[in-house]
Amino acid sequence: MTVPKIEFRNVNLRYFTTKGETLALKDINFKVEKGEFVSIVGQSGCGKSTLLSLLAGLIRPTDGEVLIDGVPVGGSSPQVGFMLQQDSLFEWRTIVENTMLGPEIRRHNLHEARLRAEGILKRYGLGDFLESKPSELSGGMRQRAALARTMCLQPDILLLDEPFSALDFQTRLSIADEIGDIIRKENKTAILVTHDIPEAIAMADRVIVLSRRPGRVKSIHPITFPSHGEERPGSFAAREATEFPAYFNTVWEELEVHVE
């Protein structure tokens, strides 16, 4: 058996504040294979973003292990790219300079990094905006620039922490579709954290539902669209697929959303 790309093995996470001790994640166990796209859904505060911080090496688990290619995560690695809710483009830098931030921090060869950054931006339809400031771009373009910045370090794992939630609905649909497409084409392993159930289903091969705090893996749902044949449809088309409503209902019920 091959080693999974990502594995959470018996992970607990506790943190301490002056107000007390909180168990944020309990007994987390799951694997993600190379090239797979997994969505994680759960209610606010269930620790889903914390899972990504563990993978990115920003925090350490209290117990258990977080493994990438079978090796425990020991700190931030250029192999892991992170996309946050805010695009957080630096407004004092041009788009191409923003894209080169990763290689600059990692002290790579800047000439090569620039060529790579320009190539990525052109592929993402931002070729005319290399020297623009972020303020000159629309929300969707900014998010694409943020993806370019993440891709510039050539990660093979992408962590997406609600990267579309700051966008308006239409932009959100088309950007999610585009970015999902790019990630699949480049055969990256991706984990998307979101509270948007349709988005989670439309983009992923599997949806993991987390329980309320302390977050546990409540259920895992493989998402397939036999009505579309072998090829997995893009996230836009997936929303129209006949299987979609059933997935939605299942995940919705699992989430036990209570409106108080």
- By the criterion CB under 8 A, which residues form the site for other proteins? 56, 58, 76-78, 80-82, 84-86, 88, 90, 92-94, 101-102, 104-106, 131-133, 136-138, 141, 153
CB-nearer residue toward other proteins: 91 or 260: 91
Indicate the residue type of 197: I
Min. distance of Cβ 158 from other proteins in angstroms?
11
Min. distance of Cβ 223 from other proteins in angstroms?
27
CB-nearer residue toward other proteins: 56 or 208: 56
Bridge partners (DSSP) of residue 206 are: 38, 222
Contact 167, 176 (CB under 8 A): no
Can you say whether the dihedral through the CA atoms of 79, 147, 186, 54 is positive or negative? Answer: positive
CA distance 195 to 162: 8
Min. distance of Cβ 240 from other proteins in angstroms?
30
- Report the residue count for the chain: 260
Min. distance of Cβ 129 from other proteins in angstroms?
8
C-alpha neighbours within 13 Å on the C-beta side of residue 111: 0
CB-nearer residue toward other proteins: 10 or 138: 138
CB-nearer residue toward other proteins: 75 or 222: 75
User: Which residues touch 86 (CB under 8 Å, ≥6 apart)?
Assistant: 166
CB-nearer residue toward other proteins: 65 or 104: 104
Min. distance of Cβ 113 from other proteins in angstroms?
12
Output the six-digit token pair for 231.
Answer: 């090829």
